[in-house]
Amino acid sequence: MTSIQDRNNVVTATLPRPNVEPLPIDLPDSAAQIWLYSGIFWMSITMLIGVVEAIKLFYPEFLQGVPALAYGRLRPVHINIGLFGFMSMGYLGATFYMVPRLTQTPLFSERLGSLTAWFWNFNLLGGCMGIMMGFSKGKEYTEIPFPFDMTIGLLVIAIAGNLFSTITLRQERRVYVSLWYILLAIIPFPIYYTLGNASKFSGIEDAIINWFYSHNLFGIWLTTLGLATLYYMVPKQVNKPLYSHIVSFVGFWTLAAFYPWNGGHHVIWGPVPMWVMTASVTASIAMFIPTCATMINFGGTAWGTWEIMKRDIGYRFSLLAYVCYVGASLWGTVLAVMSLNAMLHFTNMTIAHVHLGFLGFGVPGLIAFTYFYLERSLKLKYSQNLAEWHFWLTMLGIIGYVVSMGISGWMEGTAWEAGGSPQSTMLDRYPYHVARAVSGLIVMAGQFLFVWNVYKTVNYPINLPATSPDALEQSSVTS
């Protein structure tokens, strides 16, 4: 019996009027392509902005005097492009690729998928211009001004409808774990997104709702889409079935139960009701269970695949994403421990943790999917040399970033507990801020090689020989 995740054949859409020449946006996988390439585009932009900000944090005169490029305006742009441009678009690309294959059904509407992608791009551009022109709403993760913020909510409803209809009309009755994660991502999003962006609450209530919204954005929108992609991709890359479906079941349901409760851990020790703190700290520590489940499942699947790791750079990126996901999640659990939070909250430790998640899990996961897509679906050969450079630059940059910010955060925490203040640690932080900017620059250089590589591969195609890993995969895999 072949397991569902092993089937990789492209399902051709039956067009409603076959005698009419199909538009480019109606072709199978066109939506997936637009989402994916847009995600890669925004990834480069958000990294560029990130590097500019990192330089401003040790050399504040850099690009000084242009209001739109002031640190306080670029930072929300960096975050919003990271969330809604790079992560959302890139992983929706992966989702639009996975859903038709896992359901063995053509996408409900390829045209709707493509149009929502283009609309999303222009809408995000408008939102970011709005922030730079000074129309920010002023609350973290909800900065995109009206009407662009509400448009994102409406677009997600159209996207979720498209994906959900495909899942409902599916030919393959079994529902693979990736689809569970996709369902968790698309169903509650419109609720907490609207709540977070349209809320007119004030004071502490506003803060609690703000964190409820934003942690759900990381936890049950980006993480779930990322994990869905890894669950789909890794068994195919290593050419064997998933280690355990029981463990992925446990991992999924504990994640769905605990992650939505995590929001309050942004205000531990803050002026919020005790209940919010207690519930969120408990849930954050309970996140240990789904993290361990993921660790066991992917660890088991990846065990003994060193040969594939040497050969397949895309798979190496999957493993990097997996290691960083586990690391960032366990780190998050540790940071929610009340005594450690008292010391390390407000320091650069938070920045290090967030970047291990986005830079360590988000970026390599999307890269792994892109290489996977080029090789397995388009059957194109990308430059192995460029990809090798890309991998090592990315890896070096991530380590440099996380280590420099981690040390800086620890140092700040201990200094504050010894009676210091943010001003008194200013000079001590300087070398770490420089190291962070250099690491960011290294990661960015790696991604520019990657973008060049993808561009060359797609526009000057070299087809893979018949003995491609895909042929291997389709012949031999059972579950």
- Please list the alpha-helical segments (H only) found in 11-109: 30-56, 71-80, 88-103
d(CA 406, CA 26): 47
Stretch that binds another protein, among 11-19, 208-216, 227-235, 326-334 (CB under 8 A): 208-216
> Which residue in 43, 209, 336, 374 binds another protein (CB under 8 A)?
209
Candidate list 2, 12, 385, 421; residue touching another protein; CB under 8 A: 421
- Closest listed residue to residue 400, CA positions, set 431, 430, 442, 365: 442
CB atoms within 10 A of CB 311: 11
In the complex, what is the shortest distance from the CB of residue 40 to another protein, in angstroms, rounded to a whole number? Answer: 26
By beta-carbon proximity to another protein, the closer residue of 34 and 207 is 207
- For residue 288, which amino acid is it? F
Of the residues 54, 75, 361, 404, which one makes contact with another protein according to CB under 8 A: 75
Q: Which of 10, 198, 426, 462 is the binder for another protein (CB under 8 A)? A: 426
Of the candidate residues 64, 384, 463, 476, the single one contacting another protein (CB under 8 A): 64
φ/ψ of 355, rounded to 5, equals -75, -25
Which parts of 118-157 interact with another protein (CB under 8 A)? 134-140, 142
Torsion sign (Cα): 152, 153, 157, 158 = negative
Q: Which is nearer to another protein, 300 or 422 (CB)?
A: 422
φ, ψ for residue 463, nearest 5 deg? -75, 145
CB 380 within 8 A of CB 468: no
Q: Which is nearer to another protein, 388 or 417 (CB)?
A: 417
How is residue 360 written in tokens? Answer: 């360590």
Residue 304 vs 422, nearer CB to another protein: 422
Q: Which of residues 353-412 bind another protein (CB under 8 A)?
A: none
206 binds another protein (CB under 8 A): yes
User: Per-residue x/- marks for another protein, 242-281, CB under 8 A?
Assistant: ---xx-xx---x--xx--xx-xx-xx-xxxxx-xx--xx-
Site for another protein (CB under 8 A): how many residues? 92
**Residue 105 binding another protein, by CB under 8 A:** no
Residues contacting 70, CB < 8 A, separation 6+: none
- Residue 266 or residue 376: which is nearer to another protein going by CB? 266
Distances (CA, A) of 60 to 63, 371, 428, 430, 433: 8, 38, 16, 12, 12
Return the residue of 115, 150, 204, 403 that touches another protein, per CB under 8 A.
Answer: 204
Q: Helix, strand or coil for residue 348?
A: helix
Q: Which DSSP symbol is given to 65?
A: T
Write the DSSP symbol of residue 367.
H
State yes or no: residue 187 binds another protein (CB under 8 A).
yes
Q: Is 419 among the residues that bind another protein (CB under 8 A)?
A: yes
23 contributes a contact to another protein by CB under 8 A: no
Stretch of 110-118, 119-127, 188-196, 434-442 lying at the interface with another protein (CB under 8 A):
188-196
Task: Read off the tokens for 430.
Answer: 């300087």
In a 13 Å sphere around the CA of 353, the CA atoms on its Cβ side amount to 20
Q: Is 4 in the site for another protein (CB under 8 A)?
A: yes
